A = this chain, B = another copy of it.
Amino acid sequence: MAEPLRLAIAGLGTVGTGVIRLLEANREVVERRAGRAIEVVAVNARERGKDRGVDLSRFAWVDDMQAMATRADVDVVVELVGGSDGPALTLARSALDAGKGFVTANKAMVAHHGMELAELAAIKSAPFAFEAAVAGGIPVVKGLREGTAANALTRIYGILNGTCNYILSEMERTGADFGEMLSAAQEKGYAEADPTFDIEGVDAAHKLAILAAIGFGTRIDFEAVRCSGITQVSATDIAQADALGYVVRLVGIASMENGDEATGRLLQRVRPCLVPFRHPLAAVTGPTNAVVAEGDFSGRLLFQGAGAGDKPTASAVVADLIDIARGQAGAPFSVPVNQLATAEQGDPGERMGRDYIRFTVADRPGVLAEITAAMRDAGVSIESLIQRGRDRDGGEVQVAMVTHEGPERCVTAALELLEGSPSLAADPLVMPILGN
């Protein structure tokens, strides 16, 4: 049997210790598939003394994380520190620069600096892998990089943030409002103390940008992701959606419009969407993640599983390590980084679809006429309109409508016509209806 693959692990939070536990518990499974042993030789974390429930005495403790990158006894550096810049990025650069393999679960860093790191990895012929950065234990990076490799993909979309999905599906189950369910999620450990990145959709945007690059063979363009979170979704919206035959989910959608990956325009968006009851994503509840890829030959493929957690994430980290141990890591973004296309941004106004639009309006005559006139003037055709219940306090009511299929630019124009109108008590919320 070949020499062991020797690891340095930076970061000993739940995922870092999860990786150590997995390599112990499944030593034989891993060794049979990797063709050689995978062994931790060095570790680093902020606090040395902390009890993490695993025996660290067998490993060299490295006080200076950056020193891991140049140790002669290390083949691969595993970064589980987090943060898009700072020490994690410095470590990534120095590990790859030293020709070490580099494996990370850090979606923010890959979304922001993935191209630079892939270029460095290519120059140094060093493996660079990040299955764990997207959708936890689901092998969807591999699925898009290799499983769908024969296809021109048209769309990649999915539920990429477990916190939001937990909150939305709990709102659906209990009828409670967003704030209440956010607190519940925080108590259960499904949301962080500062949940901004999750609930504003930034975390899903990181993952979407990575998946789009892999699936379409384009350079990562995180800045181009149009992103809105779930903080504006109310219990009323969810009840309304339910009455219409939909659930509300935060969906990241990347689509290649008007051409293939060499000539098309890439539209990347993270938004709460209305998902038809019978769509596979409607059945995805709690912290589960799911990704759909639509290929011209494969048709629609669905990958579903645990989107986070120490054990699923460790499963993904070690899957990468097994690939590296077998010398089969491949190009991190499916095609060599210097051949990735630079996609132009798609125009969201051109999107054809149906939308759910919810207005919070003053409860007085003439308001509905004003809204429907704006829709008419902008060329938006209304399929249904519901005004449900009345607010107890403020004299405000919620009006929800669903449009017929049309270009998104018309909806935008209609809302511009209504901007500043005293009839509107709050900004309208637009949620696209996910098509089949």
Query: Residue-by-residue, is A290-315 near B (CB-CB < 8 Å gives 1, otherwise 0)?
Result: 10000111111111111001011011
Query: Residue-by-residue, is A314-354 near B (CB-CB < 8 Å gives 1, otherwise 0)?
Result: 11111101110010101000111001000000000000000
When the two chains form their complex, are residues B318 and A150 in contact, meaning their CB atoms are under 8 A apart?
yes
Please report the C-alpha to C-alpha distance between residue A299 and residue B288 in the assembled complex, in whole angstroms: 11
Q: With A137-B297, A299-B137, A339-B32 as given contacts, are A150 and B26 in contact (CB-CB < 8 Å)?
A: yes
* A107: Cβ under 8 A from any B Cβ: no
Q: With a CB–CB cut-off of 8 A, which chain B residues contact A26?
A: 150-152, 296-297
Instruction: Determine which of B33, B146, B278, B311 lies in contact with A299 in the assembled complex, contact meaning CB atoms within 8 Å.
Output: B311
Q: With a CB–CB cut-off of 8 A, which chain B residues contact A326?
A: 330
Please report the C-alpha to C-alpha distance between residue A147 and residue B34 in the assembled complex, in whole angstroms: 12
* A138: Cβ under 8 A from any B Cβ: yes
Instruction: Determine which of B152, B262, B303 lies in contact with A303 in the assembled complex, contact meaning CB atoms within 8 Å.
Output: B303
Q: With A137-B301, A283-B280, A305-B298 as given contacts, are A30 and B150 in contact (CB-CB < 8 Å)?
A: yes
Please report the C-alpha to C-alpha distance between residue A386 and residue B295 in the assembled complex, in whole angstroms: 46
A46 to chain B, nearest CB (A): 25
Among A30, A151, A317, the one with the most B-chain Cβ atoms within 10 Å of its Cβ is A151
Instruction: Determine which of B29, B32, B142 lies in contact with A142 in the assembled complex, contact meaning CB atoms within 8 Å.
Output: B142
Number of copies: 2
Main SS of the interface on chain A?
mixed
When the two chains form their complex, are residues B319 and A148 in contact, meaning their CB atoms are under 8 A apart?
yes
Residue of B nearest to A326 (CB): B330
* A429: Cβ under 8 A from any B Cβ: no
* A122: Cβ under 8 A from any B Cβ: no
Query: Residue-by-residue, is A267-289 near B (CB-CB < 8 Å gives 1, otherwise 0)?
Result: 00000000000101001000000
Please report the C-alpha to C-alpha distance between residue A336 and residue B25 in the assembled complex, in whole angstroms: 21
Q: With a CB–CB cut-off of 8 A, which chain B residues contact A301?
A: 137-139, 303-305
Please report the C-alpha to C-alpha distance between residue A304 and residue B29 in the assembled complex, in whole angstroms: 25
Q: With a CB–CB cut-off of 8 A, which chain B residues contact A148?
A: 139, 315, 319
A161 to chain B, nearest CB (A): 17
- 12 pairs, CB–CB < 8 Å, chain A vs chain B: A22-B150, A25-B297, A29-B261, A33-B334, A139-B147, A146-B319, A146-B323, A299-B312, A301-B304, A302-B303, A303-B304, A328-B328
